[in-house]
């Protein structure tokens, strides 16, 4: 796989950087699962030091020269070119963003997560605002240092989705917003279900945990490389792709649909990491290529597969055996319960139809924050008014509104548009494959996973997102597929 002696030397040096990233991932997972709250004092300092150490290894003069040398070589394989491309992108960040900014960002985000968690519990944005102000300030510095052609927000978008610009995002939403509004009007006129008694039904947590484990087992997962834990905000993390991938879910005690589909969503993310070609392990291209492509895998499993009638027929016997509360509900009841459509307050609980309007709100606010057109102190009021305008609902407090997402506490500004990108690509995959529902009906999940592995997973980060999509599906971001998918499903 690696023929170039120069690239072999690059990978020898990179192994230490990978190991430090492995430690960061493990500490990040622990911070959101088992770490005692006051442990943040030591954890923040340790992660900041490791972040600086990674930067030091990236900026090693010999390493930089090796990358420059490899970039000039003409006979590199696709994998070798991918390694050089990914590392040059990382190097661009580290050479342009000062070490003190990297260290300060690592420190403030470690503290900000704990502050966000406390602020959300008390529904008080003012407890989190000082941390967010600092994060926005540092994000502006990062954007300016990285550079951009049209808008500072583009520099931040590119951190999460290589090559994505505001123009791309605007193009996507120019198709989605009118399409979604039109569909919502049709569904309201036809009386598509907006609520279901199971939303308020309490469940036995151990029974649901057992049901979720059985559903995941039905889909097929490598037990020795995968685990499920609990956290305030569900997430997936590749500790050592593809050997150690972990997900979390949350349990609120009512509405069993939420943890079930959180598990399916995160399993889609995990499946991507678990299926990266093993020969790419511990290299710069040994993980998912971008957040948008990653999100397409989670949305594909959660929505395209998980909310389909065919999948419900497969898992309903498991659910009824584990959850006695379902004894009086048929598969058609479950279908409508899993596919309710109504404007709602919480993004993670939003249905397929309205979900992307939640992302549109966050995208617009982030752009305005980065340019300074909106101050952090104005966010709660602006959030509430825009929610009412876009979705016709208004948060009763900050926990239901501006504090509901963890992302800003992580410093992840520019991240949210990748969620909509994921929905777009998931719909593209559905139509490009052509027989997903047939395979799910047969219970042939292995064939579905093999298609995803061949088209997306096994390549890791070898190709940039747009190139990977064009190679596998003939085009990049086409929001028309998502509008078509929603119209056909809810017709």
Binding site residue list for Zn(2+): 265, 269, 295
Binding site residue list: 265, 269, 295
Strands 244-249 and 226-230: parallel
- Full DSSP string of 88-156: HHHHHHHHHS-HHHHHHHHHHHHHHHHHHHHHHHHT-GGGTHHHHHHHHHHHHHHHHHH--SS-HHHHH
- Residue 425 CB contacts under 8 Å (≥ 6 apart), including other chains: 292, 293, 295, 296, 469, 477
Of 392, 411, 345, 413, which Cα lies nearest the Cα of 123?
A: 345
- Full DSSP string of 215-231: HHHHH---GGGEEEEE-
- Catalytic residues, by residue number, are 266
Q: DSSP letter for 330, please.
A: -
Helices 355-371/379-391 angle, 10° precision:
150
Q: Are the C-beta atoms of residues 275 and 457 closer than 8 Å to each other? A: yes
Q: Are the C-beta atoms of residues 465 and 425 closer than 8 Å to each other? A: no
Q: DSSP letter for 232, please.
A: S
């Amino acid at each position: 796989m690696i023929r170039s002696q120069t690239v072999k030397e690059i990978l020898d040096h990179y192994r230490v950087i990978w190991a430090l990233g492995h430690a960061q991932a493990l500490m990040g997972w622990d911070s959101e699962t088992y770490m005692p709250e006051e442990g943040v004092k030591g954890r923040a300092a340790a992660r900041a030091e490791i972040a600086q150490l990674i930067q030091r290894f990236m900026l090693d003069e010999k390493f930089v020269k090796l990358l420059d040398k490899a970039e000039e070589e003409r006979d590199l394989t696709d994998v070798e070119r991918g390694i050089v491309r990914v590392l040059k992108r990382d190097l661009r960040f580290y050479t342009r963003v000062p070490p003190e900014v990297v260290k300060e960002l690592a420190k403030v985000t470690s503290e900000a997560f704990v502050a966000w968690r406390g602020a959300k519990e008390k529904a008080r944005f003012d407890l989190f605002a000082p941390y967010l102000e600092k994060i926005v300030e540092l994000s502006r510095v990062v954007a300016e240092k990285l550079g951009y052609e049209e808008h500072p927000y583009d520099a931040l978008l590119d951190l999460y989705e290589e090559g994505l610009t505001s123009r791309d995002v605007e193009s996507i939403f120019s198709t989605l917003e009118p399409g979604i509004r039109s569909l919502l009007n049709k569904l309201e006129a036809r009386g598509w279900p907006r609520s279901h008694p199971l939303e308020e039904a309490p469940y036995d947590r151990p029974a649901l945990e057992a049901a979720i484990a059985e559903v995941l087992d039905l889909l097929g997962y490598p037990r020795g490389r995968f685990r499920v834990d609990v956290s305030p905000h569900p997430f997936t993390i590749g500790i050592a792709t593809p050997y150690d991938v972990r997900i979390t879910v949350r349990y609120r005690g009512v509405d069993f649909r939420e943890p079930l589909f959180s598990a399916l969503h995160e399993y889609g993310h995990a499946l991507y990491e678990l299926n990266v070609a093993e020969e790419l392990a511990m290299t710069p291209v040994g993980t998912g290529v971008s957040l948008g492509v990653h999100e397409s895998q989670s949305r594909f499993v959660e929505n395209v597969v998980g909310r389909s009638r065919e999948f419900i027929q497969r898992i309903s016997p498991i659910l009824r055996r584990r959850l006695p509360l379902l004894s009086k509900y048929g598969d058609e009841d479950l279908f409508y319960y899993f596919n309710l459509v109504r404007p709602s307050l919480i993004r993670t609980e939003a249905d397929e139809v309205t979900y992307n309007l939640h992302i549109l709100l966050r995208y617009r606010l982030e752009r305005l924050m980065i340019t300074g057109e909106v101050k952090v102190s104005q966010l709660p009021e602006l959030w509430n008014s825009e929610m009412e305008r876009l979705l016709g609902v208004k948060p009763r407090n900050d926990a239901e509104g501006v504090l509901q997402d963890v992302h800003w506490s992580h410093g992840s500004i520019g991240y949210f548009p990748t969620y909509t990108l994921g929905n777009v690509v998931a719909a593209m995959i559905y139509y490009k494959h052509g027989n997903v529902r047939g395979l799910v009906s047969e219970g042939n999940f292995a064939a579905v996973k093999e298609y995803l592995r061949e088209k997306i997973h096994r390549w890791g980060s070898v190709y940039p997102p747009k190139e990977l999509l064009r190679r596998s599906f003939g085009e990049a971001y086409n929001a028309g597929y998502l509008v078509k998918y929603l119209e056909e499903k809810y017709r």
